[in-house]
Structure 1
């Protein structure tokens, strides 16, 4: 893919990106270049996603950045193209990120991007979430476009610190997913989930997050 195929952010997206990434904005732009070139050729994203790479993907993820605990740790399950893991690591360089991804070609791509961007706050692990439950313990566990809450909760709760939180990127069906996962929420001894809209003042379409904590 040639350089001219990498989309420039709109004026509104530029404003949002400047707010969310600050001094890291040049690295975020470099990340978008990776997504729109090798990310497509490696099959991590479809070519149709290129025109909306900023708004629909990178900014959609980065808007969670301000919600993360200062100098905390995040485990991103099923990282794929680094969405949300790399986008958040760029937005929050003070936070440590562990990207958990089972597919070798995706892991290789993630590792190369992390090296190119010089992200010292990111490590990439090739594994399934259930295989690292004895190794990973994070303040926050994230997932985006991985699976339904019903399946996600049993996989991710063991990765969460006692005082930690699950923060899942979801769409308009969040409430229905919560209802369908009632048994898993109860079994995992989690508090009632909260649905939060982020970026209403920054993004054309705000990001929907489902947040869950352990019961006290």
Structure 2
């Protein structure tokens, strides 16, 4: 894990994000747990711990400065990405991690317990079926759906002046064109150790 610690430390410095030693240990414990469960549950195509640091931890944390408010929901969280790394780094923010795959939500629940994340809850549900008592200030998605679908499916989850943060790779110009009427902003994201292009699409809620 020493090499993972070095990669993570260099990546946090480059972003830049300042964390406590305890938070760094939590992040490393998370990918160690992910690698362990991955052998049986096939949670991610990434197998090497060193690659998980860049492609999962640092990729998730690259959007940290754009999170707003005290209530965040991660839609289609999968193995807890970006929700769990963000929750580790923002202990005063409440996170809800939602996915319709029971196998993945079981892992996320175990990770929440083992990492002692008191600010994090997991929900096994389809997004259109999930009805929260309160709206969310930020909705995050990573490789979940096209932008028009994301906007349509998350509308009922938004609080007043909420934002949707959709993490995207390459070749989504057609999606952007379909949401041109929305208050959207395309933000290039640099992930330390990752050469592939990364973008964050920030969509402002129309609720006022």
TM range (shorter): 0.7 to 0.9
Match of residue 17 from structure 2: 20
Match of residue 57 from structure 2: 58
Match of residue 169 from structure 1: 167
- Tell me if structure 2 keeps the 8 A contact 1:63–1:207: no
Match of residue 84 from structure 2: 86
SS of corresponding position for 1:38: helix
Q: 2:101 aligns with which of 75, 100, 103?
A: 103
Q: 1:31 to 1:135 in 2, by over 3 A?
A: same
Instruction: Give me the whole-angstrom Cα distance separating, in 2, the residues matched to 1:107 and 1:10.
Output: 26
Instruction: Give me the whole-angstrom Cα distance separating, in 1, the residues matched to 2:92 and 2:160.
Output: 21
**What runs of 5+ residues in structure 2 fail to find an aligned partner?**
none
Matched, 1:141 2:106: no
Q: 2:202 aligns with which of 194, 197, 211?
A: 211
Q: 1:73 to 1:14 in 2, by over 3 A?
A: same
Compare 83-92 and 19-28 and name the one that shifted more. 19-28
Q: 1:90 to 1:10 in 2, by over 3 A?
A: closer
1:69 Cα deviation after fit: 2.4
Match of residue 44 from structure 1: 43
Cα-to-partner distance string for 1:24-69 (whole Å, 9 max, x where unaligned): 1010010010122213421111254644111111110012112222
1:12 Cα deviation after fit: 4.9
Q: How does 1:26-37 map to 2 (within 5 A)?
A: 26-37=25-36
Instruction: Give me the whole-angstrom Cα distance separating, in 2, the residues matched to 1:21 and 1:83.
Output: 20
- Tell me if structure 1 keeps the 8 A contact 2:77–2:83: yes
- Tell me if structure 2 keeps the 8 A contact 1:196–1:210: yes
1:103 Cα deviation after fit: 1.4
Q: 1:21 to 1:87 in 2, by over 3 A?
A: farther
1:79 Cα deviation after fit: 0.7
- Tell me if structure 2 keeps the 8 A contact 1:195–1:209: yes
Instruction: Give me the whole-angstrom Cα distance separating, in 1, the residues matched to 2:112 and 2:5.
Output: 26
Instruction: Give me the whole-angstrom Cα distance separating, in 1, the residues matched to 2:104 and 2:3.
Output: 25
Match of residue 68 from structure 2: 69
Tell me the TM-score normalised to structure 2 length.
0.86
